[in-house]
Amino acid sequence: TAVDDGPSVQFDLSTVDDMSTRVRELRRRRARAHDGPSPAATEAQHARRKLTVRERLDILLDPGSFVEIDTLRTHRATGFGMADRKPPGDGVVIGWGAIEGRTVFVHAHDFRVFGGSLGEAHAQKIHKIMDLAESTGAPLIGLNDGAGARIQEGVTALAGYGGIFRRNVRMSGVVPQISVMLGPCAGGAAYSPALTDFVFMVRDVAQMFVTGPDVVHAVTGEQVTHDELGGADVHTRTGVATFVHDDEESCLLDVRYLVSLLPANNQQPPPVVTTADPADRRADALLDLVPAEPGRAYDMRAVIAEIVDDGEYLELHEDWATNIVCALARVDGATVGIVANQPQSLAGVLDIASAEKAARFVQTCDAFNIALVTLVDVPGFLPGTGQEHSGLIRHGAKLLYAYCAATVPRVQVILRKAYGGAYIVMDSRSIGADLSFAWPTNEIAVMGAEGAANVVFRKEIAAAADPGAVRAQRIAEYRERLVHPYYAAEHGLVDDVIDPADTRSAIAGALAMLRTKRATYPLAKHGNPPL
Ligand code: HXC
């Protein structure tokens, strides 16, 4: 990927006084920046199954909407042959454009220029666009394809990353920040995305790692390829990647879809669209989708599709912590965040990974005024030394904290099982849900009837002449008294027991009523969540 930088000045500015000649020279400089370093570098980029930076922007943004600034910026490094290599733009394109007519700010890295590495000028360009995104209150999208800190620029490159990290955090919860990983992203090029709200990765072309395979080999002796170390299939399971795609085009189109669901900033509600899907549509299919027997599995995603507008939703972290589903969708045209236990994965238990995944999602929705709908079918927390010794208490508390702190409209629907602490954590009324609905199949209790009988009536069962009969009798008794929705309804812990077919209309009605919800918390510098 040889860089044909050319001399930075090919034109004697001191002697020309003719406007059209000056404009021609301006156009030549712009064209050079636009075309990239060389046809060979572009071919090499395409040979890696990657688009060039401007091809990417063409897919991401509404046609003709992109406005570029700092096109002619160059670095000021002199060592290691850098004085003769001053490509215009310094390996990053910055500017703003529109997605469905709404402004977004973009920085897009050009791997053809010094491997997309970040030096001082490159970093300052990103700082500039981040500052504009913050001050104007519009989303920031980073198209990342770069090797991290530019080695030739030393500590000034590292400091450039410091300035990005600081801004990522300053803007966190203020404007949506979206990272799109489109190449080998090392060091700071991986850390900055980790501070943003959503991370997209493209399979086979994108990798994220703190130190690359060469360093890994030098330090540990371990031989590993780029993809084995930090490819999309790795990070779809670590939770680092929120979304994984097979190609750049579908990835960039999904970024557009995501942006269409989000508000421009935390002071605005998410956009509301008109929908042909009636808010009061009966969802009769739900009666068959969810088996009444508490132990039988089903795919919660089918339930979500039945409830939301047009069956459309955007699932986050599809392959990580699959026992919980987190998705963005619309109900009656307004964006909602859905958190749902997934009975077909680990029976839908809560564990460390699912608590972390859902906590992050709840926090993201709360930051951007997205109402939360929680679909509960949870047998409890995953028991065992594996989880307890890995800090289940601390990690589980993240989800509890995130829900308790969320001030957006919150609606809970209990489909079937809702046992113990896991029921409380899954946005129960007692931790602040605004409304809670239960299906008639619902079992809210401290635990299942069998488990309860074994604990409470253990001695009586052991001493009985016919332990089996006493046990069965006690289970039936417990089930009749406590394990159904009416006990919770009688105590005001669910607001209504509903026909499952009315779930969509109940949610839509609740969210419409809650649109004007106001909630204030006592003043704190910030909370102290169990990170
Ligand atoms: C300057 C770099 C560079 C870098 C690559 N290049 N990395 N230039 N600084 N960090 C240049 C190469 O010299 C080459 O230039 C071109 O980019 C393409 O690189 P290749 O190695 O040929 O490409 P590839 O085989 O695809 O490998 C890509 C790569 C690898 C995985 C990114 O280059 C790599 O591991 N680079 C080092 C990554 C790294 O350690 N970065 C520092 C991270 S520390 P020519 O001119 O030959 O085309 C960091 C700290 C931030 O970021 C703070 C964190 C808290």
Tens of pLDDT, residues 473-521: 888 888 888 777 888 888 888 999 999 999 999 999 999 999 999 998 8
- Tell me whether residue 337 is in a domain: yes
Mean pLDDT (whole number) for 179-188: 94
- Tell me whether residue 340 is in a domain: yes
Give 151's contacts (C-beta < 8 A, 6+ positions apart): 117, 157
Highest mean pLDDT among 23-37, 126-140, 210-224: 126-140
Domain CATH number, residue 353: 3.90.226.10
Hey, how many other C-beta atoms are within 10 angstroms of the C-beta on 374?
23
Question: Dihedral of the CA atoms 306, 312, 315, 319 (nearest 10)?
Answer: 70
What is residue 373's three-state secondary structure? strand
- Do both 427 and 459 map to the same domain? no
Q: What are phi and psi of 406, to 5 degrees?
A: -75, 130
Residue pair 342/353 in contact by the 8 Å Cβ criterion: no
114 lines ligand 1 (CB under 6 A): yes
What is residue 209's three-state secondary structure? strand
Q: What is the pLDDT of residues 419-451, one digit of tens each?
A: 889 999 999 999 999 999 999 987 887 877 888
- Do both 347 and 492 map to the same domain? yes
* Torsion-angle region of 140 (φ positive above 0: left; ψ -120 to 50: alpha; else: beta): beta
Mean pLDDT (whole number) for 121-134: 98
> For atom 27 of ligand 1, which residue has the closest CA?
184
Higher pLDDT, 464 or 110: 110
- Tell me whether residue 30 is in a domain: yes
Judging by beta carbons within 10 Å of its beta carbon (0-12, 13-18, 19+), is residue 23 exposed, middle or buried? exposed
Q: With bands split at pLDDT 50, 70 and 90, how would you rate the model's confidence at 10? A: low
- Do both 139 and 36 map to the same domain? yes
Residue pair 419/447 in contact by the 8 Å Cβ criterion: yes
- Do both 170 and 296 map to the same domain? no
> For atom 49 of ligand 1, which residue has the closest CA?
187
**How much is the ipTM here?**
0.96
Residue pair 122/90 in contact by the 8 Å Cβ criterion: yes
Q: With bands split at pLDDT 50, 70 and 90, how would you rate the model's confidence at 3? A: very low
Distance 95 CA to ligand 1 centre (A): 24
- Do both 236 and 357 map to the same domain? no
188 lines ligand 1 (CB under 6 A): yes
Q: Which residues are part of the catalytic machinery? A: 187-188, 421-422
- Do both 327 and 348 map to the same domain? yes
Residue pair 203/232 in contact by the 8 Å Cβ criterion: yes
Domains contained in the chain, number: 3
- Tell me whether residue 9 is in a domain: no
- Do both 465 and 495 map to the same domain? no
- Which atom belonging to ligand 1 lies closest to the Cα atom of 150? 9
d(CA 448, CA 462): 20
- Do both 239 and 313 map to the same domain? no
161 lines ligand 1 (CB under 6 A): yes
pLDDT above 70: percentage of residues in the chain: 97
- Do both 433 and 454 map to the same domain? no
Question: Dihedral of the CA atoms 149, 151, 155, 156 (nearest 10)?
Answer: -70
Give 236's contacts (C-beta < 8 A, 6+ positions apart): 201, 244, 317, 318, 319, 320
- Do both 388 and 490 map to the same domain? yes
Q: What is the pLDDT of residues 285-299, one digit of tens each?
A: 999 999 988 889 999
Tokens (6 digits) for 196 = 């943003």
- Do both 255 and 307 map to the same domain? no
d(CA 253, CA 416): 36
514 lines ligand 1 (CB under 6 A): no
> For atom 44 of ligand 1, which residue has the closest CA?
187
Distance 91 CA to ligand 1 centre (A): 13
Can you give the residue range of the structural domain that contains 460? Answer: 449-482
Q: What is the pLDDT of residues 164-178, one digit of tens each?
A: 999 999 999 999 999
Half-sphere exposure of 414 (CA within 13 A, CB side): 37
> For atom 41 of ligand 1, which residue has the closest CA?
148
Mean pLDDT (whole number) for 232-256: 97
